[in-house]
Every structure is written in structure tokens, then in C-alpha cells.
């Protein structure tokens, strides 16, 4: 059985090999949520995720024979980079099996750490089966992303560091995929401070651990912005620990996670991936649940595709009313568009896009529909722009 001693031993092995990341208060997020929020910046690790901890702890304990054999792992993301980097650092051969759909940037980053990348299968389960087959054929040591005591102990050092930095924490909110991080953190935190509350967060599209613990039957989706916690089958070892030590599990939606990512970028000036923002998403969705509590959140990873990030920021601006789509119906005569754009400018909004629609409209043939995407200061400002246009005799409305 995993104990605090295992995690303290892991912390000694990790010393000097990776960052003891900052755990600091966010005054702005605290004001917005009504809780006292402390952020653990695991996105600052060299491979931008906490996964390094488990990988380093596991590889550091291999025997001389096992080191000569090399290691193999299955992962589409952060676990791959953690294993590859620490194998390279220790001079071990590392083979990483990734699904065929893995983004090119993750493949190249993993190769950049000296690993041999094998692309196999369309699902994580197919990749895992192939990795186990290769491990048997080539005598490689399989490094599981979460169902391994050494991995869980390594991840548990996050909880150790958080309570060392902020002993007054009374709640930890942790993203849950396979469950390795929360299992390790709960083991450490409950041993050090038995009264502390541990809350796990899953995306409603991948609620496997939530279903397993709570006996529910929420259906599973096919994709999520929080791909780091998109795990279809919970870990056996983590599930046993979660059942015993975790106080509650919550589900959040895609929009909650996107909003949290944009807030962390804008307020904290820190980039997190979907899984890394899941904890904050839970506080935004259930503020009354955490009001007044000293809450530790783990920003567990920061690896995200730039184009996906751009789309999330743009959608966040729409939700906040900083980007709006306005439709204006007007007589199709010279100068109409110039009048509209001048009025929008006078109202203090900036025009992002203009689309002139003549054919695909139910308006009379003498009229034209003009669609504008405008940058504004927020919802009140959108209302002011619409009022200005309507007062001038144009038919203007916001499109959702």
C-alpha cells in the first residue's frame, strides 16, 4: 500500500532533477470566485507538466539490468515527454508508442528528447496493446502513465510541496484522468493533514472515474479540450486510493474549461492546457461549494497547440462580449456601408470583419444585409453600438 514514506522517498529522488514549482496566491481569482486560491505552477516544469515527477521516480529505481534493457511507454502527450526526457537524462533507451492521430508537434517534441516514436493504432487502447507487445518482444520495461506505485508516488510530491509552501490549505482541487496525480496527492495530503478536503475534477465528456466511484452511468464522448484527462478506463491502483481518500468528484463542461484557460492567460499571464484549467473550471462552476475556503489548484500542464489556443481565446472574447457579430439591414445604395462603419467607429468599437450579403437573404431586393464582427469593451458597449445604429434608422441586432 502506498504511504507518505513512499512519497517522501520519491521527493528525495527528485531533488535537483526537476522544479519545486511555485505555489502562490492569486488575489484576482480569489476575488472573482469567493475562495482563497493558491496556484501550483506545474506548467513550468521543463516538459511543461507534472508527469515528469512520476517518470523520474520510476526510472530512478530501475535496476542496472532494467536500465540496460530500456523503457517503453504509451502516451499521446505529457507522459511521453516526461519518460523520454528523463530516460535521455539517465542514458536509457526509450520507445514511445503514440496513436496515429497525435499532433505532429507532440511527436517531434518527444523525438527531440531522444525517444524512438512508434505510431500505432487509432485509439489509446490500441496503442497500449502494441506497447505491451513490443515490451515483451524487445525486453523493455513498460512505464504505465498512472497504474504504477512508483509513478503515483512521484506525482504525490506535488501535494507534499503544496502543503510545505502553504500549510493552511484546507482543500485541494485536482484534475482526474487515470487518477495517478490525485491518488498520490491524496496519500500525501491526508497523511500530513487528515482534515484536508480532496476534490477531483473530470470533464463531463470523459467521466470514467466519476462513474466508477459514484456508480453513475454518464456516457463518454469522443473528444475534449482537456485531452490530458481524456481517459476511458480508470487506473486500478488510483481508483482504490481515490475510493478511500478523495472526498468528492465533480464534472465540468467544455465551456467551463475554456473560460478557465482564458482567465489564467489573461489574469495570471500563464498558459495552461485544458486539463490544467479543470480545477479552476470547477471553482467557476460551483462557487458556493468552495466559498471562503483556502483552495490549492494544480495547473498540471501547459502543452497546447497554438491554433487551438487561438480558437479558445477568440471564443472566450465572444463569451465575454469583447467580440460581437452584428447584423445590419440597409438600403442598397452607395454610401450606406461608409455611414455604418463611421457610426461604429464613433461609438468606440473596432471593426474586425465585414460581410456584404445580397443573395442569401429574405430581405427585399433593394436591401442588403451587412454583417460586422466588432471588437468592444463588453456587453454594455455592444448595446450602445446597436442603439446608435438603430437610432440612425438602421435595423441592427446582435447575432449569436
Q: Give the pLDDT confidence of 108-126 residue by residue, as tens digits.
A: 889 999 999 999 988 777 8
Phi, psi for residue 250 in degrees, rounded to 5: -125, 155
Between residues 359 and 222, the one the model is more confident about: 222
| Confidence (pTM) | 0.89
What are the pLDDT digits (tens) for 1-54?
A: 899 999 999 999 999 999 999 999 999 999 999 999 999 999 999 999 999 999
Cell triple for residue 237? 491502483
**Pairing outcome for strands 116-119 and 94-98:** parallel
Question: Residue 37's beta-bridge partner residues?
Answer: 295
Mean pLDDT of 312-327: 90
Helix, strand and coil in the chain, % to nearest 5 = 50, 20, 35
What are the pLDDT digits (tens) for 183-201?
A: 999 999 999 999 999 999 9
Mean pLDDT lowest for which of 7-16, 24-33, 173-182, 355-364? 355-364
Going by C-alpha positions, the residue among 152, 92, 100 that lies closest to residue 126 is: 100
- pLDDT number for residue 364: 61
Instruction: Answer yes or no: is pLDDT of 178 > 80.
Output: yes
Cell triple for residue 10? 520519491
Question: Residue 149's beta-bridge partner residues?
Answer: none
Cell triple for residue 363? 430581405
Going by C-alpha positions, the residue among 375, 384, 398, 400 that lies closest to residue 322 is: 375
Residue 233: band (very low, low, confident or very high) from pLDDT cuts 50, 70, 90: confident
Q: What percent of the chain has pLDDT over 70?
A: 98
Q: What percent of the chain has pLDDT over 90?
A: 76
d(CA 116, CA 110): 8
Instruction: Answer yes or no: is pLDDT of 361 > 80.
Output: no
Per the prediction, the chain carries an average pLDDT of 93
- pLDDT number for residue 299: 98
DSSP result, 204-246: TTS-HHHHHHH---PPP-S--S-GGG--SS--HHHHHHHHHH-
Give yes or no for a contact between 326 and 398, defined as CB atoms under 8 angstroms apart: yes
Going by C-alpha positions, the residue among 142, 146, 160 that lies closest to residue 13 is: 160
Going by C-alpha positions, the residue among 17, 15, 26, 21 that lies closest to residue 42 is: 21
**Pairing outcome for strands 197-203 and 23-25:** unpaired
Mean pLDDT of 87-91: 95
Mean pLDDT lowest for which of 105-109, 141-145, 179-183, 239-243? 105-109
Residue 358: band (very low, low, confident or very high) from pLDDT cuts 50, 70, 90: low
- pLDDT number for residue 363: 60
Residue 320: band (very low, low, confident or very high) from pLDDT cuts 50, 70, 90: confident
Write out the H or E segment, with its range, that includes residue 372. Answer: strand 367-375
Neighbours of 141 (CB within 10 A): 18
What are the pLDDT digits (tens) for 238-296?
A: 999 999 999 999 999 999 999 999 999 999 999 999 999 999 999 999 999 999 999 99
Give yes or no for a contact between 35 and 290, defined as CB atoms under 8 angstroms apart: yes
d(CA 32, CA 257): 16
d(CA 34, CA 28): 10
Domains of the chain: 4-50+148-315 (3.40.50.1100), 52-142 (3.40.50.1100), 321-399 (3.30.70.260)
Amino acid at each position: 500500500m502506498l504511504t507518505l514514506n513512499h512519497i517522501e522517498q520519491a521527493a528525495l529522488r527528485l531533488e535537483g532533477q526537476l522544479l519545486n514549482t511555485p505555489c502562490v496566491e492569486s488575489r484576482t481569482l480569489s476575488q472573482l470566485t469567493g475562495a482563497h486560491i493558491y496556484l501550483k505552477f506545474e506548467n513550468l516544469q521543463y516538459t511543461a507538466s507534472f508527469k515528469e515527477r512520476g517518470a523520474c521516480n520510476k526510472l530512478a529505481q530501475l535496476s542496472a539490468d532494467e536500465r540496460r534493457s530500456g523503457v517503453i511507454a504509451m502516451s499521446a502527450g505529457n507522459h511521453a515527454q516526461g519518460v523520454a526526457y528523463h530516460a535521455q537524462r539517465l542514458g536509457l533507451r526509450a520507445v514511445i508508442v503514440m496513436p496515429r492521430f497525435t499532433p505532429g508537434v507532440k511527436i517531434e517534441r518527444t523525438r527531440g528528447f531522444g525517444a524512438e516514436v512508434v505510431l500505432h493504432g487509432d485509439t489509446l487502447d490500441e496503442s497500449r496493446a502494441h506497447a505491451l507487445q513490443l515490451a515483451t518482444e524487445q525486453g523493455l520495461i513498460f512505464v504505465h502513465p498512472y497504474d504504477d506505485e512508483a509513478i503515483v508516488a512521484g506525482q504525490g510530491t506535488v501535494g507534499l510541496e503544496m502543503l510545505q509552501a502553504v500549510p493552511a490549505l484546507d482543500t485541494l482541487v485536482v484534475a482526474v484522468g487515470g487518477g495517478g496525480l490525485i491518488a498520490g496527492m491524496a496519500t500525501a495530503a491526508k497523511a500530513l493533514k487528515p482534515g484536508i478536503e480532496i476534490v477531483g475534477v473530470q470533464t463531463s465528456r470523459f467521466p470514467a472515474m466519476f462513474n466508477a466511484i459514484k456508480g453513475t452511468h454518464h456516457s463518454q464522448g469522443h473528444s475534449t479540450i482537456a485531452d490530458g484527462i481524456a481517459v476511458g478506463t480508470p487506473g486500478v491502483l488510483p481508483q482504490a486510493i481515490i475510493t478511500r481518500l478523495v472526498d468528492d468528484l465533480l464534472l465540468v463542461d467544455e465551456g467551463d474549461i475554456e473560460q478557465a484557460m482564458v482567465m489564467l492567460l489573461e489574469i495570471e499571464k500563464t498558459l495552461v492546457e485544458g486539463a490544467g484549467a479543470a480545477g479552476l473550471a470547477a471553482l467557476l462552476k460551483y462557487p458556493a461549494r468552495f466559498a471562503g475556503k483556502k483552495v490549492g489548484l494544480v495547473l498540471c500542464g501547459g502543452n497546447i497547440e497554438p491554433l487551438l489556443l487561438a480558437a479558445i481565446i477568440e471564443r472566450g472574447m465572444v463569451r465575454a462580449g469583447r467580440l460581437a457579430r452584428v447584423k445590419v439591414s440597409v438600403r442598397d445604395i452607395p454610401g450606406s456601408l461608409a455611414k455604418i462603419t463611421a457610426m461604429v467607429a464613433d461609438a468606440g468599437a473596432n471593426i474586425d470583419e465585414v460581410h456584404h450579403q445580397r443573395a442569401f437573404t429574405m430581405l427585399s431586393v433593394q436591401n442588403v444585409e451587412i454583417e460586422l464582427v466588432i471588437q468592444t469593451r463588453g456587453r454594455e458597449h455592444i448595446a450602445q453600438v446597436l442603439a446608435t445604429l438603430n437610432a440612425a434608422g438602421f435595423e441592427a441586432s446582435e447575432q449569436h
